[in-house]
Amino acid sequence: MSRFYSDTSREDDKWSLPDCEVFWSDDLESDCGELLPPGWYYWWCLPGCMPDSDPFGPFDSAEDAIADCRDSVDC
Residue 71 has pLDDT above 80, yes or no: yes
Question: For residue range 23-68, what is the model confidence (pLDDT) as tens digits?
Answer: 999 988 888 888 999 999 999 999 889 999 999 999 999 999 999 9
How confident is the model at residue 25, as a pLDDT?
Answer: 95
Q: How far is Cα 64 from Cα 19, in angstroms, rounded to an integer?
A: 17
Q: What's the structural domain count of the chain?
A: 1
Cβ–Cβ under 8 Å, residues 66 and 48: no
Query: Residue 15 is part of which domain span?
Result: 2-72
pLDDT band at 74 (very low <50, low <70, confident <90, very high): low
